[in-house]
Amino acid sequence: MEHEKFAEHGHRLIDWITEYMSEGYSGPVLPKTEPGAVMAQLPETPPLEAEPADAVFADFKNIVLPNVTHWNDPRFFAYFPANHSGPGILGDLLSSGLGVNAMSWATSPAATELEIRMIDWLGQMLGLPWRGCIQDTASSATLCAVLAARERLADINQAGFYTQKPMTAYTSEHAHSVLQKAVWIAGMGERFLRLIPADRHFAMQPEALREAVARDVAAGFRPAIVMSTVGTTSSTAVDPVAEIATIAGEYDMWHHVDAALAGSAAILPEMRWLMDGVPEADSFCFNPHKWMFTNFDCSALFVRQPEALKKALSITPEFLKTAQDSAVENFRDWGVQLGRRFRALKLWYVIRCYGVSGLQAKIREHLRMATWFADQVEREAGLTLVTRPRLNTVCFMADSDERSRALMMAVNASGEAYLSHTVLDDRYVVRVAFGQTHSTFAHVEKLWQLLRRLHREMVTPAE
Ligand SMILES: Cc1ncc(COP(=O)(O)O)c(C=O)c1O
């Protein structure tokens, strides 16, 4: 592609993205795509000859756009957000423009040093003065924590598990499956993962944890890691991190805190309680790509003792050695992958262009949306709030599982909003998660009117 063509097409794409961000998508937020429908429109073989970018863009509009789920549309309220922003897109664009590989300090000094500074900034915003790095996702961050915990107990990288007693891992029954997967990958075995019962607020019961650990020690197993969650995926429950830290300390276990969503809210002074007990843990991660307007992917991993992480993950073949190795940080030693994207750029853009107070204001508004929405649900006959939201997510039920499911499906089928579900206390629960960059109160009111109308039509079908 000629450079002038790149510029011409690039300007057009920026204009298109600007319109997409300001107007939202005109079609349904959740596409009604049948499996295979996109593939059917794509040629089975690659083009031999060059095609104009305009043709690719036309196909993007005709084939891709109607068949994507519009995660950044203001009508998206499913799962947790993956919110983007103008500044985040600009930073990401520059990262693509430079195309650097941030594996070592020497392969791009600014990438490493900006990343160090961004973790410092985030740490100040959260009151957590630890070192850390940017990972792609919370899944990778959890895997790193598990590998660090494993290696702290025994030299598994060299010896493998062959002669070792089993290592055990613990988390709440409501935690995300990221720990389960990390335990698989680390070779620790799911049979040795304990899902600790939660209380009526869906938070881990510390006494049940203590008992489970004591049982495992008595059986000759070695407790390696406990993961607390601050803001569970199903209901945004918050585990008692400080009490879990005490138990982890008693048994010399690694304590990882997964705050994938909720960490962003902890930058608000009134939400700083979310960080209670975290400084006593060993690692902490949250995703600016969920609720801090930093386009996917960007997960910040903080570690109290980075040496433990590096012991598990540092490897330096001859061809990667550089003259500065003893004086600098090489972030390839802090994670699974060698090659790394320059993610700090988008975070830098986001934090500078919003300012901390701008980020706080937007997140505060999302919290207000959740409270307002919960108030409406509470007042509506036939709907029941599962818990008062303390974060961005409202969980509620209709008067039967069938009706809850039907209500959610009807909202999603309308194309006017997208909700998701979970199961809590064996009941089918509808979740509404706020946190879109472009959602305003008007969108939230519209969602409520739609939901209320559909619910009332179900309860009292039209003659
Ligand atoms: C609490 C929690 N932990 C972990 C994850 C996994 O996040 P990622 O997609 O960054 O691996 C999620 C995803 O929603 C989550 O809600």
pLDDT in tens, 15-43: 999 999 998 899 999 999 999 999 999 99
Q: What is the pLDDT of residue 163?
A: 84
Residue among 135, 146, 236, 261 whose CB has most ligand 1 atoms within 8 A, to mutate: 261
Q: What is the pLDDT of residue 276?
A: 97
| 232 CA to centre of ligand 1 in angstroms | 9
Burial of 19 (0-12, 13-18, 19+ CB in 10 A): exposed
Query: What is the rounded CA–CA span in Å between residue 258 and residue 263?
Result: 9
Query: What is the rounded CA–CA span in Å between residue 220 and residue 325?
Result: 41
> Does the 3-69 domain belong in CATH 1.20.1340.10?
yes
Residue among 233, 239, 285, 298 whose CB has most ligand 1 atoms within 8 A, to mutate: 233
Residue 343 tokens read as 């993610």
| 461 CA to centre of ligand 1 in angstroms | 39
What residues does ligand 1 touch, defined as CB less than 6 Å away?
Answer: 80, 137-139, 176, 178, 229, 231-233, 258, 260-261, 287, 299
DSSP string, 153-171: HS-HHHH-STTPPPEEEEE
Check if the beta carbon of residue 114 is closer than 8 Å to that of residue 345.
Answer: yes
Mean pLDDT of the chain: 96
| 176 CA to centre of ligand 1 in angstroms | 7
For ligand 1, atom 6, the nearest C-alpha belongs to: 138
Q: Quick one: which H or E segment has residue 185?
A: helix 178-185
Q: What is the pLDDT of residue 462?
A: 61
Q: What is the mean pLDDT of residues 280-295?
A: 98
Q: Quick one: which H or E segment has residue 133?
A: strand 131-135
Q: What is the pLDDT of residue 460?
A: 84
> Does the 100-341 domain belong in CATH 1.10.3720.10?
no
46 has a pLDDT exceeding 70? yes
SS (H, E, C) 372-420: HHHHHHHHCCCCEECCCCCCCEEEEECCCHHHHHHHHHHHHHHCCCECE
For residue 433, list its beta bridge partners: 393
463 has a pLDDT exceeding 90? no
274 has a pLDDT exceeding 80? yes
Query: What is the rounded CA–CA span in Å between residue 182 and residue 186?
Result: 6
Check if the beta carbon of residue 301 is closer than 8 Å to that of residue 126.
Answer: no
252 has a pLDDT exceeding 90? yes
pLDDT tens column, 195-236: 999 999 999 999 999 999 999 999 999 999 999 999 999 999
Give 429's DSSP letter: E
Query: What is the rounded CA–CA span in Å between residue 180 and residue 241?
Result: 19
Buried b (16+ CB within 10 A) or exposed e, 192-219: bbbbbebeeebbbbbebbbebbeebeee
Q: What angle do CA 148, 154, 159 make, to 5 degrees?
A: 110
| 203 CA to centre of ligand 1 in angstroms | 17
Check if the beta carbon of residue 258 is closer than 8 Å to that of residue 270.
Answer: no
| 174 CA to centre of ligand 1 in angstroms | 12
Query: What is the rounded CA–CA span in Å between residue 247 and residue 241?
Result: 10
Q: What angle do CA 85, 117, 277 make, to 5 degrees?
A: 90
Domain ranges in the chain are 3-69, 100-341, 359-459
Residue 403: pLDDT band with limits 50, 70, 90:
very high
**At the topology level of CATH, where does 359-459 sit?**
Aspartate Aminotransferase, domain 1 (3.90.1150)
Percent of the chain with pLDDT over 90: 97
Percent of the chain with pLDDT over 70: 99
Q: What is the mean pLDDT of residues 135-140?
A: 98
For ligand 1, atom 16, the nearest C-alpha belongs to: 233
| 21 CA to centre of ligand 1 in angstroms | 24
Residue among 134, 172, 178, 235 whose CB has most ligand 1 atoms within 8 A, to mutate: 178
Burial of 45 (0-12, 13-18, 19+ CB in 10 A): exposed
| 260 CA to centre of ligand 1 in angstroms | 5
Minimum-distance ligand 1 atom for the alpha carbon of 141: 11
Q: What is the mean pLDDT of residues 433-461?
A: 95
Q: What are phi and psi of 42, to 5 degrees?
A: -105, 135
Query: What is the rounded CA–CA span in Å between residue 189 and residue 205?
Result: 23
Of 309, 314, 308, residue with least CA distance to 332:
314
For ligand 1, atom 7, the nearest C-alpha belongs to: 138
| 182 CA to centre of ligand 1 in angstroms | 13
Residue among 142, 241, 287, 297 whose CB has most ligand 1 atoms within 8 A, to mutate: 287
One-letter amino acid of 81: P
| 144 CA to centre of ligand 1 in angstroms | 14
Minimum-distance ligand 1 atom for the alpha carbon of 136: 10
248 has a pLDDT exceeding 60? yes
Query: What is the rounded CA–CA span in Å between residue 190 and residue 352?
Result: 43
| 177 CA to centre of ligand 1 in angstroms | 8
| 291 CA to centre of ligand 1 in angstroms | 12
Minimum-distance ligand 1 atom for the alpha carbon of 299: 10
Query: What is the rounded CA–CA span in Å between residue 101 and residue 457?
Result: 55
Q: What is the pLDDT of residue 192?
A: 98
